[in-house]
Every structure is written in structure tokens, then in C-alpha cells.
Structure 1
Amino acid sequence: MPVIMGTAGHIDHGKTSLVRALTGIDCDRLAEEKRRGITIELGFAFLDLPDGSRLGIVDVPGHERFVKNMVAGAAGIDFVLLVIAADEGIMPQTREHLEICSLLGVQAGLVALTKADMVDEEWLEMVRDETARYLEPTFLGGAPMVPVSAVTGQGLDELRAAIAALAAGFAPRRRSDLFRLPVDRVFSIKGHGTVVTGTSLAGKIAVGEEVQVYPKGRKAKVRGLECHGAMVNEAPAGVRTAVNLGGLEVSELERGDVLARPDSLFPSQVWDVELTCLASTPRSLKHRKEVHFHHGAREVMARVYFLDREELKPGDTALCQVRFEEPLAGVYGDRVVLRSFSPLRTIAGGRIVNPLGRRVRRFSSQAKGIEALRLGQGEDVLRAQLELVGPSGLTQAQLLILTDMESKALEKALGLLGGRQEALQFDRETRTYVAGSVVAGLIDCLTRFLGEFHRREPMRPGLARGELASTWGRELPSKLFHFLVERAARQGTVTLENDLFRLPGHRVSLASDTAKLREAVLTAYEAGGLTPPNLKDVLGPLGVEFKEAAPVFKMLQDEGKLTKIKEEMYFATPAVTGLTDRVRAWFAAGREEMEPSDFRDLSGLSRKYSIPLLEWLDKEKVTVRVGDNRRLRKRDAVG
């Protein structure tokens, strides 16, 4: 797999001169760089190795004012060439660059003691010993150290050999096949249009494919690709790549943007980050501190919110939330660097554990739940992300950025978790998953809800799907609601009968006094026929308020024994059914309109009952009102 080497070191220690001596490529391309004799922008070169491979090189500026450019270049490197001038030794940016590389997860490298021709052997040996002692507790402890001179050529062959040996045994860790290229340069080439460069962190891209610019969302076609000076049809991960984009102007892009496939990244304004405060930092990092935040090639202002403390002391590590004014696109495990607002210096860094963070209360159970993300890997992180997001679930595309897993490995892990009922797909179309523990908790909640409903409405046999969705399931995704109730029904946790959901043990049963009430009500209305009794006349002698008797009336309606004509007016259903049949027969005799007097003659009812019954016939779409008269609805007549 291709490897990228980055330079690091103090200003004027000879980084760019050394790269030019090693490769023949001058990384200082700007007129201002040549005039001032310092590197301002990132430079890029390559070195052909004895095994036929080509090593990419990122040359970074050393001046303290351009550390942000250094961070942008260091974000994609695999190992570092730390450059220390033999006539000066370790200097401020030597220390800061080394700290930045450590925070970015760089774990290998070597040291070049430049300007070796300008000091005697005794001085060179002293600088070598001092450097070795300083580097001993760092990731460069025991690393190869080669004295060199870009002027005389001293040590260049030995340095090339050391670089080749390190590159040959180096295995970059790029698990994801999700193509991403942080943009560190944007320019235009006459006749070609807009070009961006960067180091592809993962995946691969080919000419003709469509890409999207994050976080802006604009899309473009890949018109051409160049890797280390050669035109290619496909660019793999870990290679310095120039991408010729069709459909975008230079003004529409900037350093820090990320190229990826459409709909593969999900920008967010909140990230959960495992953060380490540098031991060399003079003071603690306070809660809500505003900082310069570096991720990939982007620098933004952000605030740090600690979840379990008020400050992060030098040398300590803790979880925090970093919040931005505009969304950024990140992936689990990405490295970040924090620099203080004033004075401007590197103070902390770490890795993203959740690039789709949600604001949570400090010291809460939600805050503790994020802790699982920093401790696990692979399946453990996958399970933890699903449990953390809860009922909203996560798509497979989101899970790719939340785990940094290769897509086939993710599918396999989801299959294994699915077999253990720990991750369940509830939406096949969007491939959305929810944690098994969340499903179990929601089904428990459903049974408690139905239990409360049965206690509150003992006369109702159950809840219809729509009513259950609009009450218990109103805050759930629609497809998750249907998945849950059907799963609960298959498990036997709830019973689905006549499109009504109920607990398995629930039966509509009346206590002896309620049974008497039901019998009394039904008898009274059946005896009344089309002149039913007043509610108070029925319930008064029984000593029951309508509020108490309402479940009995509702049950009798559900059973088809009573028909509600209007509020507090009920008829025995056979009585109104018979009247409806007589109305239809009256019209069937060839009459077109029924006057109110015709209805009174037909029914023998007073105005007290005839008017509500006529209105009920209209509502039931048996008749239609025309002025004060009624006509049979044509649909009803045809029926």
C-alpha cells in the first residue's frame, strides 16, 4: 500500500533543501517563498525507492505563523522525517511539530541532523546525544538518526536507505474503503479547469466517477487524476493525488473541504472526541474554552464541552463534545488537533469517537454512554453506536463513518449481531438498523402502555393500529413502529386480533354490578325503540353517573347493540336499522323528496327525535338535505 512521509521541524532547519537534495524537486513554488527563503505553503514531492515503489513526501512550513498549514499537511502522513539543524539543535517548532505528529497518531519516523557540514564532530556528537535524550520518551525514541548536508551530499545515501527500509516495513492502517480526500490546495490549470490536491485517506477513486464536496454538498465529475506526477485512471488510498474536477469553479472550493462519494459523509455540528491535553501545556483546558480546531486540512473555531469535569489538566485524557458554528464531515478514529486562541500554540489533540454527536447533558447517563465508544473496536463500537442513537436508528452508510470499518467487514458484523438479535434492520429500503437492546426496551414499554390502557378502558377489546401509532408510537419512525408491533405480535408479547392490539391475557369482562348495568341499559333502550329513554331516567335509579357508565355504552356500540345518534342520545340499533329500511322503501315507491312532515308520518315521532334522526341519516349518507327536505343519495339508491 502506498506510503506518505511528512517533514517536520523548526524554521530554517533545512527541510525543503533536504527534500530537494533527496528528490530533485523544489517544494517552494511561490515567489514569496523564494524571495523570503522560507516555506509558507505545503510542498509535495516523491522519492523512487529501490523496490520500485514511489514514496510520497509532504514538506511542511516550519515558521510558527504557519503551523496551521503544517497541521493540514501532517494530517495524511504515515511517518515523519524530523529535521533538526546540527548547528542549533532542538528549537520551539521542533517540539511543537513533534507534539502535533503525536496527537495526529503518527507512530513512526526517523531523524535527519541537517547542516552537518557546518559543525565539527564533537559538536555533532553533542547534538546527537541531546536529541536522542529528548526523543527517548516520544514515538521517535530509538529511531534512526542520520547526519546529512544538502550542500555537500554528506549522508544522503544513508538517509535514502533508512527511509526505504522504514517504508518497506511500514503497514499503514487504512481499514475503511470509504473514499475521502481532504483538500489542501485548490487552483486552476489553463485548459483543464479546477484542480484540487490532497492525500486520499481511504478507498479509491476513478476517472469518470461523481464526487461530492463536503460540507458544502456540491457535486462534480472527476475529469482526470494525477499521482506523483503521473496521469492515472484510478487513485488508491495513501497517495498524493491531484483531481481535475468538472462542473466546479475554484471559488466554490477551499482548503479543508473533503472530496468523497455522494451521500457517503454526514456533516455535523457536534462531535464526541477523546481528548488529551499536552503535558507541556502551561495550564488546564477549561470547560467551554474556545479553540482553533484542526481536522484534516480544515481549521475552524470551536468550543470544548467536557462531559464529566470542569477542566482537563495537562497530561490528562477525557471525553468531550466539540461544537462548531457550521457542520464538519468526519469519521470515527480521525485525529484532531487543538490550538489555543491566545497565545496561539498547540495545547491538545485526540480522536473522534462519534462524528454524529448530539448535545447531551453533562454528568448524565447519555454522557456515560459515550464512554463505551472510546473503549471498544469493531463490533463493540458498532453495538455502542446503535445503543447510543436509540430509536432513530442508523443507516448502513452512517455506520460506515461511525465505525471506520471496511464495508464488507461491516456487513459481516451486522449479520453476526443480527443473528444474536443485537442489531436489527427495520427498514430494508434505507438499510436502517436499531440496537436489539433498544427494541427490547421499546417492546417492554409497549406492553406497559397496553397494560395501562386496559386498566383505564377495561370495556375496550384493544387498540387499533392507527390509534396505537398516534399515541404510543407518535415519536417513533413509522417503519420502526410497524416493525416493533409486528415483532411483538410474532413473539406473543402482544396479541393482534381483528386488527386490534391487546395483551394476551386481556378479555373484555364485566364485574357482576357492571353486568347488571349493561343489562339494565340494553333493556331500557330495546324497550324504548324509536322513543328511547333519557339518559338520566336510565342511570338515575341505578345511582350511576354517565362518566362511570360510558365504558358500558361504548362496549354496547362496539357490539352493535346501541347506535349513538348525537351526544347523550342513543337508540337500540334494531330500531334505527328498521327505520332506515322504511325510509329507503318510501323513496323506492317513486317519491323524490321527503318533507319533515312525511318523515313524522312515516316514523310517528315528535320533533324531539325526528330532527336528530334526520340529521343522523344525512351523516350516514342515506339521505342528503335539500333545503328543509331530504332526497335519497344516488349512491345509496344504486346500492
Structure 2
Amino acid sequence: MAIIMGTAGHIDHGKTSLVKALTGIDCDRLREEKKRGITIELGFAFLDLPGDVRLGVVDVPGHERFVKNMVAGAAGIDFVLLVIAADEGVMPQTREHLEICTLLGIRRGLVALTKVDMVEEEWLDLVQEDVRAFLEPTFLAEVPVVPVSAHKGTGLDDLRREIAGLAGEFHREPRSDVFRLPIDRIFTMRGHGTVATGTLISGTLKVGDDLEVAPKGLKSKTRGLQVHGGTQERAEVGQRTAVNLHGLEVEDLERGMVLTHPGTLFPSTTWDLELTCLPSTPKALKHRTQIHFHHGTREILARVYFLDRDKLEPGDTAMTQVRFEEPMVGMYGDRCVLRSFSPLRTVAGGKLINPLGRKVKRRSATVGRLAELAASQGDERILLQLELAGLAGLTFGQLRAVTCLETKELEKQLQLLGGRQEAFLFEREDRTYVHGRLAQELCAGIAEHVGEFHRKEPMKQGISRGALASGWGRKLHPKLFHFVLERTLKQGALAADGDLFRLPEHKVSLASDQARLRETILQAYDQGGLTPPNVKDVLSPLDLEMKEAAPVFRLLQEQGELVKVKEEMFFTTQALERIKEMVRGFFRENPEMEPSDFRTVTGLSRKYTIPLLEYLDKEKMTVRVGDKRRLRA
């Protein structure tokens, strides 16, 4: 099993010297680090332990100017080695580094009391008491404090034993199987090209795998892998990994980007967090405060928006929205650190609740939902995220990101929720889901809309699919609209007559005078046959205008009795069928038809010929070629 230990502590307390004494590897590789005698960048080493365990070691800088580099290194570690010099004791970065580890969710570690060869025994006893008092309220309260000297080798064997014991007891909590490697170094290797390194925080990576560099969306492929300096075909969670990238230059990448498999992480400029303000923070964090935001190996400027208050007092926790200047990628449960804009110091940290956040109305019910989400498990978390997503729904890939559930567990839970009709799959290609309660509300809403249509248009048989989609369903994904319509039909809340949709109980009922008008109109057009009357000729004896008779004409069309060929020119369905048969008969013996041929075949005047020919074109029975018509295949 791969485990990562990270150092923490004040500048010049001997972190790098201790790592070299333990592993034989000097983590200071930069010329500037050698010249100044301080660690500036992250350093990496490894230590082989009993039980076939190779412990990766991340050495972090201690200077306050390089805390951002320290956060980048601490983001992927499993436990911390807090280094405190016996000649100085607890110092400012000792406190800040330990606070950062706490905010990042690190709960295991031990303490090395270095430079014991430089102090008297009596002083060492006093420092140990002081260190114990400092550790009392922290997660390191009960851990061993091991006196060591990297220079003389004192206590190194004891420290190795304590590290081995801690590593042997370590059990990593199961998280998502989505491959993620936050980049902390980029360089070029002669003969290989661009290499990115980092701690693999979840999932696995194999040589040949397709890659995406998030949030930029750059595509690449895994040309080669090294784990702790050795070539491997596969890298697993917890390992220090170097990835040889195909098709990318060093200039394309920067620290903070994340290597992942395509389609698994989703950039967003808004995150929802459960945020805790450090008790040591000198003053409250105010609404809309600008801060330095640290997540994984990335640092970015952001603003905090409190959803249920105007400020966050030291020691308090609240649901918070963070908005970034550039897109970020993350997963539910990720830890983050906030540092004040000026002066630079760690002020807060939190747990990522929703990496696909949407702007939330302050002091709304959504704030309570986010609080529930922070403590949720399994199917409850899925449903809460679907509820927050609303009409947009969530794809399977997005659900992996916003729940941090392993793929098989997520599939199992979605099947169970589907069986209980608490979540519905409405789009199969991207596997997009919507909350079951929302689906039921939409089904009720579409039926209510059709009912309102009936009240406004009692003479119409129903409403068309197109009118429903462009009206009631205009804010829905087309496939969600289709899903809701089909489900409402299946439930029996709607009925379909061809392309028209109505409530099952809806029937067009004419008043007695309108019923007589219907019969009069239909009789006039039946008698007219192939030469139907003008609308005015039908309505004048009845002392009616077209706008008064229009509902009856529409009803006759919907019922299939009349067909509108052009404005105020109607034919009965039977008459049009006779005309179509005459045309088919002509084409059995002739390849083309001119307007004069049509008049000869039907015996109709020019008044009817041109509108009817255009009608047959529109019906796709014929096609116009110049001034002639041909029968469509």
C-alpha cells in the first residue's frame, strides 16, 4: 500500500535535514535553496518500511512567504510529521502549519523534536512540556514526541519505528475511484518530453490511458509512468507519481491543474462549502471578502459569500458560497484552505459540498439543504444533489463528482432510487438523471397546462406537441420534456389524439346553435364536392362573419372533416382523396403533369388548380420542377 507522509513546521527547524537523515535523499534541489540554506519549493523522497510499504515523503518549506507551497504539498498527504526545533520550540509557522493540516482533514501524525544535541537536558525537558501543552487541543495531543538529531543520528531509529508503526496502522477511507492527480511540478526529460508530477489522490492510472488536463480541457495520453523514481505500468492512490504526457509542452501546464480521465471533472466558478473560521483568526470574515483560496495544489483569488449571515466569527462554521475568477474542478468532500488577502495568513478552511454550485438566494431554504448535504450519506446525498440541480438534472459523471461515491456503489444506489421512483433517468446517451419529486411535479404541471388550454380554447380538440414544447416546456431539456410527456400519458393524466394532447375527460361540446352551424357548413361543402363554395357564400345567408364561425371551422379541421387548402378555401377530406386518385391515375401513364393536364383530369378551373397543385406539393405527393410536377417516389 502507498502512503504519503508530509513534513510541517517553522523555517530552519530541520525538516529537510531530517528527511535526508531518514531517507538519504536531499529534497533541496534548487540552486537558490542551496545558496540560501532554506527550502523554497516542495521536495520529495521515499522511505522503505517493513511489510513491503514504500512511504512517500513530501518535504514542505517553512518560511511564511512560502506557505502556499506548503499547502500544495500538504494537500495529498496521509499523515504529518510535525518538526519542532528543541532550541526554539513552538513558533508562528509551527502553529499555522498545524492549523492548515487540521483544515485539510489530516487526523494522524507524530512529532519530531529536532536539534536536541544543541540544548541542555533541563532545557529539553522544558521544551517537551511546552510542546505537549501546545499539542493538547489538537489532533496530535496523544502522539509520540520523538527527540532526534539529524546531525548526530540521535533518535533516528526510534523515529523510524514510530513512523513504521503509524504506517502499519494506517487505513485509507474509501473514496471515489475517479482518477485525480493534482500537478505540483512540471519539467522536461531529455528523450521523453513533458513530465508532470503529483500525489495520486484517487483512482488509478495506466500507461496508454487517455488524459484530460482540468480545468483547461487539454487532451493527452499517458506515455509513461514513474512511481517513487521507478518505472511502472500502473499507479495507484497514495503514490507519488510522475506522468510522461503525450502532445503537451511545459508551457501548456501549471501547478494546480489536475490530471484526470476525460469527462470526469467539471469546471465551475462557484462552489458551496461548509466553512470553519479558525479560532485564532484575529477578526471575523465578512460577506464578500476577497481571499486566497487553496485547493489541492492550486491557489486562486476568490470571494466568500455567506448565505445565512453577514460575517463568520472566529471558531464558527457556516454554509458558504465561494466564487472564483477562473474555473475550478473538485469533488464532494475535498478540503480547502482560505488565507486572507492582506496580510497573508491562514484564516479558515472547509469541506467542499457542491463543486457544481449555482447562485443561491441568501437566507433561502436552499441553505438548509446544503447543511443537510454536508452530513449526508449514499442515496440521501444523491437525492439532495439532484434536488439542487433542478431542471438541469445531473449526468452520471457529474453525480460521481458531486457525491464522491465509487462507480459501482453509485450505479447500485441509482438503480434502487429508480425502483422507488425517487430518481429518473431521462436521457440515456449521457445518462442524465432528475429528482423523482421534480419529475412528478412536472407531470402535474403539464397536465395543468393542458387543462388551462382547454379552458381558453374549449372548441379545440387538444394542443400540439410543438405548442406544448415551445410554451410550457421551453425551459426544459428536449429529452426531459419528452420524458415528462410520455410519463404523463402512461399515468393516464393525458390522452393523445394523433399529435394533439388533451385531458382524458375533455370533449368538444357545441352549443345547439354551433352544432347546427357545424352541420350547415359541412353540408355546404359536401354538396360542393370538387368545387367547394366560398366561405362568404356559406356564411352570408346565416348573417355571420368568419371570425364568429372560426372555432367551428377549426373543429371540423381537427376532426378531419375539412382540409384548409389556402386562406378561406376548404375541401372535404373525401373530395381531396378523389382529386389525389385522379392525379395518381394520370401519373401511371405520364411522367410529368402541367397545370393544363391537371385541369383536364379534374375538370376544375384555374381558381382551384393552382392552390390544389401547391397543396399537393406541400403534402409531398408531388414535386415542382419548373412549371411541371412529378410524382414523388
Q: Tell me whether the two structures share a fold, i.e. TM-score over 0.5.
A: yes
Please say if residues 187 and 194 of structure 2, whose CA atoms lie closer than 8 Å, have aligned partners that are also in contact: yes
Q: 1:615 to 1:186 in 2, by over 3 A?
A: same
Q: Secondary structure at the match of 1:634?
A: strand
Provide the residue aligned with 1:356 in structure 2: 356
Hey, what's the Cα distance between the residues in 2 that align with 1:213 and 1:421?
37
Hey, what's the Cα distance between the residues in 1 that align with 2:245 and 2:170?
32
Please say if residues 566 and 612 of structure 1, whose CA atoms lie closer than 8 Å, have aligned partners that are also in contact: no
Provide the residue aligned with 1:406 in structure 2: 406
Q: Secondary structure at the match of 2:149?
A: coil
Provide the residue aligned with 1:290 in structure 2: 290
Please say if residues 524 and 533 of structure 1, whose CA atoms lie closer than 8 Å, have aligned partners that are also in contact: no
Provide the residue aligned with 1:158 in structure 2: 158
Provide the residue aligned with 2:447 in structure 1: 447
Q: Give 1:36-435 correspondences, 5 Å limit.
A: 36-435=36-435
Hey, what's the Cα distance between the residues in 1 that align with 2:430 and 2:86?
59
Amino acid at match of 1:175: R
**What is the CA distance between 1:82 and its match in structure 2?**
0.9
Residue range with higher mean Cα deviation, 349-358 or 467-476: 467-476
Q: 1:224 to 1:613 in 2, by over 3 A?
A: closer
Structure 2 counterpart of 1:615, from 611, 615, 618: 611
Hey, what's the Cα distance between the residues in 2 that align with 1:188 and 1:626?
66
Hey, what's the Cα distance between the residues in 1 that align with 2:482 and 2:518?
36
Hey, what's the Cα distance between the residues in 1 that align with 2:582 and 2:120?
123
**What is the CA distance between 1:129 and its match in structure 2?**
1.7
Q: Deviations over 1:382-430 (max 9, x none)?
A: 1111121122222211111111111111111111111111122222222
Q: Secondary structure at the match of 2:89?
A: coil
Hey, what's the Cα distance between the residues in 1 that align with 2:10 and 2:69?
14
Hey, what's the Cα distance between the residues in 2 that align with 1:327 and 1:95?
31
Say what the alpha-carbon RMSD is for the aligned residues: 3.1
Amino acid at match of 1:422: E
Hey, what's the Cα distance between the residues in 2 that align with 1:291 and 1:571?
74
**What is the CA distance between 1:366 and its match in structure 2?**
4.4
Hey, what's the Cα distance between the residues in 1 that align with 2:91 and 2:624?
96
Q: 1:402 to 1:579 in 2, by over 3 A?
A: closer
Residue range with higher mean Cα deviation, 32-41 or 321-330: 321-330
Q: Deviations over 1:83-123 (max 9, x none)?
A: 11111111111111111111111111111111112222222
Hey, what's the Cα distance between the residues in 1 that align with 2:412 and 2:365?
30
Q: Secondary structure at the match of 1:448?
A: helix
**What is the CA distance between 1:583 and its match in structure 2?**
9.1
Hey, what's the Cα distance between the residues in 2 that align with 1:578 and 1:234?
75
Amino acid at match of 2:97: H
**What is the CA distance between 1:434 and its match in structure 2?**
1.7
Hey, what's the Cα distance between the residues in 2 that align with 1:182 and 1:583?
72
Hey, what's the Cα distance between the residues in 1 that align with 2:549 and 2:427?
44
Q: Deviations over 1:559-580 (max 9, x none)?
A: 3433434434545666677788
Amino acid at match of 1:452: E
Please say if residues 87 and 119 of structure 1, whose CA atoms lie closer than 8 Å, have aligned partners that are also in contact: yes
- Gapped regions of structure 2 (runs ≥ 5): none
Q: Secondary structure at the match of 1:433?
A: strand
Q: 1:116 to 1:455 in 2, by over 3 A?
A: same
Q: 1:560 to 1:131 in 2, by over 3 A?
A: same
Percent identity between the two aligned chains: 60
Q: 1:531 to 1:109 in 2, by over 3 A?
A: closer
Q: 1:287 to 1:549 in 2, by over 3 A?
A: farther
Provide the residue aligned with 2:539 in structure 1: 538
Q: Deviations over 1:45-73 (max 9, x none)?
A: 11222333111111100000000000000
Instruction: Tell me the TM-score normalized by structure 1.
Output: 0.90
**What is the CA distance between 1:534 and its match in structure 2?**
4.9
Structure 1 counterpart of 2:631, from 610, 631, 635: 635
**What is the CA distance between 1:201 and its match in structure 2?**
0.2
- Gapped regions of structure 1 (runs ≥ 5): none
Q: Secondary structure at the match of 1:620?
A: helix
Please say if residues 521 and 538 of structure 2, whose CA atoms lie closer than 8 Å, have aligned partners that are also in contact: no
Amino acid at match of 2:100: I
Provide the residue aligned with 1:478 in structure 2: 478
Q: Deviations over 1:115-152 (max 9, x none)?
A: 11222222222222222222211111222111211122
Instruction: Tell me the TM-score normalized by structure 2.
Output: 0.91
Hey, what's the Cα distance between the residues in 2 that align with 1:376 and 1:460?
49
